[in-house]
Amino acid sequence: MKPLTRAEEEIMQILWDIERGFVKDILSPMTEPKPAYNTVSTIVRILERKGFVSHKSYGKSHEYFPIVSKDEYRTFIIKRMLEGYFDSSFAKMSQFFKNDESLNTKQYQ
């Protein structure tokens, strides 16, 4: 598995929420300024090549759905962050969050 770009991750977040949909369904919940239909279509096809998405064909239309779960991707990203920034130490990561005053943990409880 490889990390997603911001645009790819935005589309995956939508697909995880809606579970399946056509490009128009993916485009609908996006915030303004929305990307072009063709841009979303291209990104979805890239996600399909990367193994995150599959589709069911209805003639010339394609209904897309995730084949990597949000939990699987979240686990991958957290492990990557632990390895890359905290020497694979959960204790170091916890200490970072505890010590960083810009991260007010009370607001997240």
Q: Which residue has the tokens 């990367």?
A: 50
Q: Residue 27 is encoded by which pair of tokens? A: 């485009």
- Residue-wise pLDDT tens digits, 20-58: 999 999 999 999 999 999 999 999 999 999 999 999 999
Instruction: Provide the pLDDT for residue 90.
Output: 86
φ/ψ bin of 91: left (φ > 0), alpha (ψ from -120 to 50), beta (otherwise) = alpha
Banded model confidence at residue 109, pLDDT cuts 50, 70, 90: low
Does pLDDT of 98 surpass 90?
Answer: no
Nearest to 12 by CA among 29, 32, 36: 29
Over 80: is that where the pLDDT of 107 sits? no
Average pLDDT over residues 66-83: 95
At 95, the pLDDT band (50, 70, 90 cuts) reads confident
- More confident of the two residues 70 and 107: 70
